[in-house]
């Protein structure tokens, strides 16, 4: 298969870096940046080829699921490819794949296809910080695998950042339930310097999507007020105004700012 983008010094395409670059090209376009049409035409044709692959081991499944998702973002019809991958995974792995990032990308695709029940059945199984059953079971059949098909390149931090991004972008109700402690825990490798370029890029994408979800939430007055309050902070201000707060501040996390708390500043 011809590569989507030219990679210096490489005679063959590098699938995972290519898909990574294509995802950020799509993000750039959505942010209003001009992306050359010829580049998108080549990239989308490349994604179509990936979406039609037959393999469904750990890294093949992740690659196919991400390609299908990106095609769905661009408005292409992906129902057949998505169903084919879903059936292959069930046949080959039963339910062991459903806690993997593969399922997260598939859930996002189902959400875009207006199939919320299927989307919810998959997104609920992912656990940040936990290696999926599919990855634990993975045993390469050959030593001749792409260097990017590894847990070093596809680190847990990398996968968790992609999960947070897709959650904020396509599952805002679930994103509202994340506490600040949970988000900070997911980003800990970034603060510790334990990351590579791709993982850091996805973490920035995740934070950007989370911020967008925050701004577009129902609780805009609380968001505005929190931005203005330094001392006392938002929790202390509420307590001083006799708002009943039976739990410590960390308990509420982002829920009150994302509209998940039962009090509203407009009340």
Asked whether residue 48 is assigned to any structural domain, the reply reads yes
Overall average pLDDT of the 143-150 stretch: 62
Do 1 and 121 fall into the same domain? yes
Q: Please state, in angstroms and rounded to a whole number, the distance separating the CA atoms of residues 165 and 210.
A: 7
Do 57 and 159 fall into the same domain? no
Closest residue by Cα to residue 67 from 31, 102, 117, 27: 102
Asked whether residue 133 is assigned to any structural domain, the reply reads no
Overall average pLDDT of the 92-96 stretch: 93
Instruction: Specify the pTM.
Output: 0.76
Q: Please state, in angstroms and rounded to a whole number, the distance separating the CA atoms of residues 51 and 16.
A: 13
Overall average pLDDT of the 31-47 stretch: 91
Closest residue by Cα to residue 107 from 89, 90, 98, 120: 120
Q: Please state, in angstroms and rounded to a whole number, the distance separating the CA atoms of residues 186 and 203.
A: 9
Do 208 and 237 fall into the same domain? no
Do 267 and 251 fall into the same domain? yes
Do 102 and 156 fall into the same domain? no
Evaluate if residue 2 carries a pLDDT over 50.
no
Q: In this structure, is the dihedral angle defined by the CA atoms of residues 249, 252, 254 and 256, taken in order, positive or negative?
A: negative
Residue 246: its pLDDT value, please?
Answer: 66
Evaluate if residue 225 carries a pLDDT over 50.
no
- Widest distance between CA atoms in the chain: 67
Overall average pLDDT of the 233-242 stretch: 58
Q: Which residue has the higher pLDDT, 218 or 118?
A: 118
pLDDT digits (tens, 9 = 90+) for 98-123: 999 999 999 999 999 999 999 999 99
Domain that holds residue 66: 1-127
Q: Please state, in angstroms and rounded to a whole number, the distance separating the CA atoms of residues 46 and 221.
A: 44
Closest residue by Cα to residue 267 from 225, 216, 211, 215: 225
Asked whether residue 132 is assigned to any structural domain, the reply reads no
Do 181 and 82 fall into the same domain? no
Q: Which residue has the higher pLDDT, 176 or 224?
A: 176
Q: Please state, in angstroms and rounded to a whole number, the distance separating the CA atoms of residues 53 and 69.
A: 14
Cα–Cα distances (Å) from 118 to 48, 110, 133, 181, in that order, read: 22, 6, 20, 29
Tell me: cis bond preceding 3? Omega within 30 of 0 counts: no
Number of domains into which the chain is organized: 3
Do 266 and 226 fall into the same domain? yes
Q: Among the residues of 140-233, which ranges form H helices?
A: 156-170, 172-175, 180-192, 197-215, 220-228
Cα–Cα distances (Å) from 10 to 14, 15, 44, 205, in that order, read: 8, 12, 21, 28
What's the mean pLDDT when you consider all of the chain? 80
Do 233 and 118 fall into the same domain? no
Do 200 and 188 fall into the same domain? yes
Evaluate if residue 92 carries a pLDDT over 60.
yes
Asked whether residue 137 is assigned to any structural domain, the reply reads no
Q: Please state, in angstroms and rounded to a whole number, the distance separating the CA atoms of residues 13 and 5.
A: 8
């Amino acid at each position: 298969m011809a590569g989507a983008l030219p990679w210096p010094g490489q005679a063959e395409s590098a699938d995972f870096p290519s898909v990574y670059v294509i995802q950020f090209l799509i993000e750039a376009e959505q942010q209003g940046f001009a992306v050359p049409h010829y580049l998108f035409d080549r990239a989308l044709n490349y994604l179509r080829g990936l979406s039609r692959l037959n393999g469904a081991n750990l890294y093949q499944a992740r690659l196919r699921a991400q390609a299908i998702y990106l095609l769905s973002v661009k408005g292409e019809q992906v129902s057949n490819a998505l169903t084919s991958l879903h059936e292959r995974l069930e046949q080959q792995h039963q339910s062991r794949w459903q806690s993997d990032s593969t399922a997260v990308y598939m859930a996002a695709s189902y959400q875009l296809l207006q199939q919320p029940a299927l989307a919810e059945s998959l997104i609920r199984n992912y656990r940040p910080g936990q290696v999926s059953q599919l990855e634990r079971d993975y045993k390469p059949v050959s030593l001749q695998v792409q260097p990017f098909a590894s847990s070093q390149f596809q680190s847990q931090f990398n996968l968790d950042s992609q999960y947070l991004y897709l959650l904020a972008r396509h599952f805002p109700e679930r994103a509202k339930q994340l506490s600040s402690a949970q988000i900070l825990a997911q980003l800990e490798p970034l603060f510790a310097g334990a990351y590579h370029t791709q993982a850091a890029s996805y973490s920035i994408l995740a934070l950007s999507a989370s911020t967008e979800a925050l701004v577009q939430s129902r609780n805009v007055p609380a968001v505005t007020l929190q931005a203005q309050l330094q001392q006392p902070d938002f929790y202390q201000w509420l307590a001083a105004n006799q708002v009943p707060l039976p739990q410590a501040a960390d308990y509420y996390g982002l829920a009150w700012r994302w509209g998940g708390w039962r009090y509203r500043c407009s009340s």
